[in-house]
Structure 1
Amino acid sequence: MEESRAVTATNPQANTLKRSLGLWDLILYGIIVIQPTAPMPAFGVFSNGGKGHVVTSILIAMIAMVFTAMSYGRMARVYPSAGSAYTYVGRELHPALGYVTGWSMTMDYMLNPLICTIWCAHTMADMIPGIPLGWVLWTFFFAILFTGLNLRGIQTSARINQILCAIMAVVIAAFFVATVRYIFHLGSYPSGYFTHPFFNPDTFSVKTVFHGTSLAVLTYIGFDGISTLSEEVENPRRNIFLATVLVCVITGALAAAEVYGAQLLRYDWHFEASEEITAFAHVAAIAGGAKLANAIGITLLIATIGSGMGAQLGAARLLYGMGRSEALPKKFFGAIHPKTRIPANNVLLVGGIALVGAFLMNYDRGAELLNFGALLAFMGVNLAALTHYFLRDTAEPFLKRFVVHFLPSALGFVICLAIWLNLTHKALLLGAVWMVVGIAYGAVRTKFFRAELVNFDIPSEE
């Protein structure tokens, strides 16, 4: 016992996580989480939403995400082990606002597996036509598949994720090669052929572009996960900040190039509802034929299956964390299956919501509602960073604080707010209902926020 105490005394880091991740490890992690094919599944949705201004929408979203990423990186310096928007907001602004941010995040977690279920079902129905009510059968299949695999505790390893990322890179490269070859062999180009993906005077309006941007934000969802690795990173004060920003820039540049190529292949921006979800694969077929279209379709399907499984388990874990801390009824939400050590009740609940929700809303609405909660969280993080570094930390000169801390956070907040306000009225209404329910529940639990609010941190796996 004395020897053990001596070891602990001389090595205070014996019980801490090993700091072994460098900057490029973080960047690779962020790219894998977001996926290099991020804009492809929703390309048709983005194009219809922004009336063809997909590239512009993705670039505007990138600007908002870069400023927000800077705020995330700075807040990770203050709370290096928390790594979540609701913690930043709750500690810097007010516990009640942290609760509201946490509640908005639950909507993201719950809707992610739902839209993955919708996308996979419609893609399979498109790939294997002729089955009566095929998308209905595939919806049941994928909802049950995600739930069943998560109940068995099956997880995708980091090695498999890296292999998938490499496969995606090959498919993306093949798409670019086929696209360039096709464009060079066209011979003549319509007026505005190369510029309409950025600006089409026939369909352009600020409202239209920002509505498209409110959907295009989906491309970047997941970048904030980098901040959760703060305890395992070499020089986290520098590397978390740089990695979060660089991942957003790399994702934005690659996404813009992918959709630009797709828009050059198909000059008409409008997609019918039946082809909206599988639009990118159909467009790729123009340049690369059925082989490239099938390669893209299968790659995106596999990636979305992995994403749907991970999203469902992530939602279940978040609900478990809320249940364990008694933000939700602990007996149901805080229960762990004795054999698999999985929050089975939550997995079943999220699977049920994904199944039912897939029949009640389309992909567009699910994506908008997901972004409703995400953008609220992003605005909260920007305000938290502004409060901490500009208002509270007054050691640095005012001008430096204004330029380095106030402007990026304020711009991030304003652009995210502008994007959020351009969600459809129905999405804003449904999101508002969700928020009112959560606020009302929190008010009852805390006697109108007079009692101490719970901690939403998800417990680490042992």
Structure 2
Amino acid sequence: MEKQNVSLNRTLTLSAVVLFGLAYMTPMIVFGIFGVLAETTHGLVPPAYLIGLGAMLFTAFSYGKMVQAFPVSGSAYTYTRKAIGPRLGFMVGWSVLLDYLFLPMVIWLIGAVYLHSAFPSIPTWVWILAFILVTTVINIIGINSTKNINFILMIFQILVILIFIVLSIVSVLNGLGTGTLFSIAPFYQTDVPFSLVIAGASIACYSFLGFDAVSTLSEETIEPEKTIPKAIILITLLGGMIFIGASYFIQLVQPDYNAFVNTDSAALEIAKQIGGNLFSAVFLAGLIIAQFTSGMSAQTSAARLIYAMGRDSVLPKKIFGYINPNSRTPILNVIFIGIVGLLALFLDITTSTSFINFGAFMTFIFVNLSVIFHYFINENRRSGKDIIFFLIFPLIGVILDIGLFINLDKNALVLGSIWATIGFFYLLLLTKFFREAPPELDIQNDLAG
């Protein structure tokens, strides 16, 4: 009997993909990092998000164009290897792993730290193991279960955000903070250098991670050539509107960035200030649920990225290229991401998060470059509109992403460079010192399947 080829199942619609991206993005992250951004920008958080949104929109446009060309799992890794070259594609994939592999670990660690602060008698490691166990089991069951759970948890997140904004408006109208709902101060202050806003934008872009993750679901999405590009733009716009709007009202309530007792938990302080103990408890629950939802989505994306690399035999194919025939999920990869998450038992948040932004910006830069190489250079698409879409837009994206990249902190640049060096030597071993090309995915078979 001929062995059947087991592949991912196409079931996801536009709304499900947008929901997945928003869950991965975690809208409540605007509260989680508000204090850090306020301190970095000296109280100009909304324009930092506005600059970040501008950069991400150009990059989101490039993701949409590349997923139309290559609607398969693998995201930036696949786009770069197909548009520019397999060796560079491998290096981009290696950089992507910084983001995808370690992000679930960071999410679980942050959630565990919040829970430990609320329940000091329970050790942090217990919460870490609980996060990993629950999310791993759900993701093993299958993508449709993830989709349904994401919907419920996202509704709760949005409700908490709306309540926070309403309470902020009421508090401002009652004289708290600026005392007015219309102020230019959150966007512009003469004594704050623009360089601080740019530095804040580099941090703020962490909040947008999620719009790009949905490109890894191309093989599970109905009509991915149309659905994924629309979803990417919608996720970026919706996320940006939430981040700018929420940070604006938070800034009105507390315009003094030096007033926080602890910048890491600044939003929790404001929640207690505007809503008392009851709302602060609801707010804390919202943050924890947001971390759970985000960790679940992040683990899903990471598993599917390394599935694409395993399928190409860049990573051991029997392990990373395996799809469970019953659940239609890369079950071994899901378990592997859970094991990586155990590193949270030994690392702190600062050390673990220093990896992520390096990989994210490297990814964004090469996705924009892939548009130029694939459409403008390789396909010779150079009409009037094509020059705008396939050269000018992605070039602006490259420039903006590089500008944000060089503003990363030194730890991120150093640790990211070390990771890239390890990947380069692995590539040398894989290609026998460039005498052979890395194994390449058969695009035509995937498009047909």
Q: Which interval holds the TM-score relative to the shorter structure?
A: 0.7 to 0.9
CA drift of 1:240 comes to: 3.4
Corresponding residue number in structure 2 for 1:6: none
CA drift of 1:149 comes to: 5.3
Residue 315 of structure 2: SS of its match in structure 1? coil
The answer to whether the 8 Å contact 1:61/1:213 transfers is yes
The answer to whether the 8 Å contact 2:57/2:233 transfers is yes
Identity over aligned residues, as a percent? 31
Larger Rg: 1
How many pairs were matched up? 436
Corresponding residue number in structure 1 for 2:289: 302
**Worse overlay, 276-285 or 104-113:** 276-285
The answer to whether the 8 Å contact 2:181/2:252 transfers is no
Corresponding residue number in structure 2 for 1:165: 154
- Relative distance call for 1:124 and 1:26 in structure 2 (3 A) is closer
- Relative distance call for 1:196 and 1:371 in structure 2 (3 A) is same
CA drift of 1:227 comes to: 3.2
- Relative distance call for 1:244 and 1:188 in structure 2 (3 A) is closer
Question: How far apart, CA to CA, are the structure 2 residues paired with 1:92 and 1:368?
Answer: 29
Residue 435 of structure 2: SS of its match in structure 1? coil
- Relative distance call for 1:387 and 1:141 in structure 2 (3 A) is same
Q: Which residues of 2 match residues 243-262 of structure 1 at below 5 A?
A: 243-262=231-250
Residue 360 of structure 1: SS of its match in structure 2? coil
Question: How far apart, CA to CA, are the structure 2 residues paired with 1:347 and 1:242?
Answer: 27
Match of 1:407 among 392, 416, 419: 392
Q: Does 1:434 align with 2:422?
A: no
Match of 2:61 among 70, 75, 82: 70
Residue 169 of structure 2: SS of its match in structure 1? helix
- Relative distance call for 1:401 and 1:448 in structure 2 (3 A) is same
**Worse overlay, 321-330 or 172-181:** 321-330
Q: Does 1:311 align with 2:303?
A: no
1:132-152 CA distance string (max 9 Å, x none): xx6xx2234313541465268
Corresponding residue number in structure 1 for 2:268: 281
Q: Does 1:126 align with 2:112?
A: no
Q: Which residues of 2 match residues 161-310 of structure 1 at below 5 A?
A: 161-186=150-175, 189=178, 194-206=183-195, 208-230=196-218, 237-270=225-258, 275-310=262-297
- Gaps of at least 5 residues in structure 1 are 1-14
- Relative distance call for 1:385 and 1:178 in structure 2 (3 A) is same
- Gaps of at least 5 residues in structure 2 are 1-6
Question: How far apart, CA to CA, are the structure 2 residues paired with 1:367 and 1:116?
Answer: 9
- Let me know the Cα RMSD of the aligned residues: 3.6
Corresponding residue number in structure 1 for 2:4: none
Corresponding residue number in structure 1 for 2:30: 39
- Relative distance call for 1:145 and 1:18 in structure 2 (3 A) is closer
CA drift of 1:275 comes to: 3.4
- Relative distance call for 1:112 and 1:428 in structure 2 (3 A) is same
**Worse overlay, 432-441 or 336-345:** 336-345
CA drift of 1:157 comes to: 3.2
Question: How far apart, CA to CA, are the structure 2 residues paired with 1:190 and 1:288?
Answer: 17
Amino acid at match of 1:200: Q
Corresponding residue number in structure 1 for 2:13: 21
Match of 1:390 among 363, 368, 376: 376
State TM-score, norm by structure 2. 0.84
Question: How far apart, CA to CA, are the structure 1 residues paired with 2:377 and 2:224?
Answer: 23
The answer to whether the 8 Å contact 1:117/1:358 transfers is no
Amino acid at match of 2:369: L
CA drift of 1:328 comes to: 3.5
Corresponding residue number in structure 2 for 1:367: 353
The answer to whether the 8 Å contact 1:147/1:348 transfers is no
1:179-204 CA distance string (max 9 Å, x none): 11111110784899933332334443
CA drift of 1:286 comes to: 1.6
- Relative distance call for 1:271 and 1:425 in structure 2 (3 A) is farther
- Relative distance call for 1:83 and 1:446 in structure 2 (3 A) is closer
Question: How far apart, CA to CA, are the structure 1 residues paired with 2:176 and 2:44?
Answer: 24
CA drift of 1:454 comes to: 3.1
CA drift of 1:233 comes to: 6.1
Corresponding residue number in structure 1 for 2:92: 101
Residue 81 of structure 1: SS of its match in structure 2? coil
